Amino acid sequence: MSRIKYSIHGGHNFFIGSLMLICLLSLGSASAFSQDRSKPETIEASAMGTDTQMGREFPVTLTIYEYSSPADKKILAEAFQDGKDQGLFNALSKMKAVGHIAVTGTLGYDVSYIQEISTPT
């Protein structure tokens, strides 16, 4: 049982690390913010493995169908204040998918919240 928990936890760390890398890469890309909003945006990046995948590089794809609204952000903030991690999990579970993230060639995960951050030019 402890091996299963460790494997899931290690995969979670990889997923979070990959997501953070994609966010950083997308902030530096001016073209990601100037595209036609009627078509999904696709961001491709490479993520470095952690734990048991240390030193391995993985291609990751983030597809953005739409950006979340400020109302969604408020709902998530209130859910976290009321129920901490479990409240946030419950609120995210009820939201529709606004994107999809996957290690290229795998099924991946739906993304329930994506915020666009404009950087000053």
Give the domain ranges of the chain: 2-111
Per-residue pLDDT of the chain (121 residues; tens, 9 = 90+): 444 443 444 455 555 555 554 554 444 444 444 445 678 999 999 988 777 777 788 899 999 999 999 999 999 999 999 998 999 999 999 999 999 999 988 899 999 999 988 888 7
d(CA 100, CA 63): 5
Q: Taking a C-beta distance cutoff of 8 angstroms, is the pair 95, 105 a contact?
A: no
Q: What is the pLDDT of residue 28?
A: 43
Specify the pTM: 0.63
Map residue 36 onto helix, strand or coil: coil
Supply the pLDDT for residue 55: 77
**C-beta separation of 90 from 58 below 8 A:** no
